[in-house]
Amino acid sequence: MRYCPLCGKATVAKIVDQRERQICPDAGCGFIFWNNPTPVVAVIVETPSGVVLAHHVSWPEKAFSIITGFLEAGEDPKEAAVRETREELGLIPESPTLIGVYPFARSNQVILAYHLFAQGEVHLNDELDAYKIIPRSRMKAWSFGTGLAVADWLASFN
C-alpha cells in the first residue's frame, strides 16, 4: 500500500506490533495497513466417479487443483464450499465437512478446506476451462496450499 486510502498521503514503513507495516505519516489520520491474509475456501469435490480437479483459465496448461474461491463477507465457510461447488462445477453438493485450515503465505491467504460429495453433470463456469475426475485411489497430494488439505484427507483413509 503506497498511499493512505483515507487521506491520500504516501505511506511510510514503521514497526507496529513487532512487524514492519505501512502507515500514514499524518498523526491525525492514524491509518495502518495490516495486510491480513484473505480467507479462501478449498473443496475436495467427490463424485461417484472420483474427485474433480479443475484447470483455471489463467494457470499453466497442466496445472489442475481442487475447487477454490474467496469467502464472501458474512458468509459461513461451509456455505462458501457449497456455493463454490455449485458456481464453478454446476454440481449439487451434499454434506460438507471441514478437513482443516492451512496457510498459503505465497498468496497471503488462509485456506479453509472442506470435503463434500456432489451429484450431477459437471458444467464449468467461465473461470475454469477443463476438468478431470480422478479416482480417490489415484489421488496424490502436493506440498503446498490446497495440496496440504488433500494430504490430510487422503491420510484419513489409512
The set of cell numbers assigned to 33 is 495497513
| CA neighbor of 155 nearest in space, from 44, 81, 11, 35 | 44
What confidence category does residue 78 fall into, taking pLDDT thresholds of 50, 70 and 90?
Answer: very high
Of the options 3.90.79.10, 3.40.50.2300, 3.40.50.10440, 3.30.70.360, the CATH number for the domain spanning 38-155? 3.90.79.10
Task: Report the alpha-carbon distance of residue 110 to residue 145 in Å, rounded.
Answer: 9
Partners of 67 in beta bridges:
43
Side chain identity at 52, as an amino acid letter? V
Assign residue 150 a region: left if phi > 0, alpha if psi is -120 to 50, beta otherwise? alpha
* pLDDT (tens digit per residue) in 91-119: 999 999 999 999 999 999 999 999 999 99
Residue 158 has pLDDT above 90, yes or no: no
Task: Report the alpha-carbon distance of residue 115 to residue 41 in Å, rounded.
Answer: 11
The three-class DSSP label of residue 14 is: strand
Q: Which residue spans of the chain are classified as CATH 2.20.70? A: 1-35
For the whole prediction, is pTM greater than 0.75? yes
Q: Which residues contact 49 (CB under 8 A, 6 or more apart)?
A: 133, 135
- Position 26 scores a pLDDT of 93
CA dihedral 32, 37, 38, 43 (to 10 degrees): -170
Which CATH architecture describes the domain 1-35?
Answer: Single Sheet (2.20)
Task: Report the alpha-carbon distance of residue 9 to residue 17 in Å, rounded.
Answer: 22
Q: Which residue spans of the chain are classified as CATH 3.90.79.10? A: 38-155
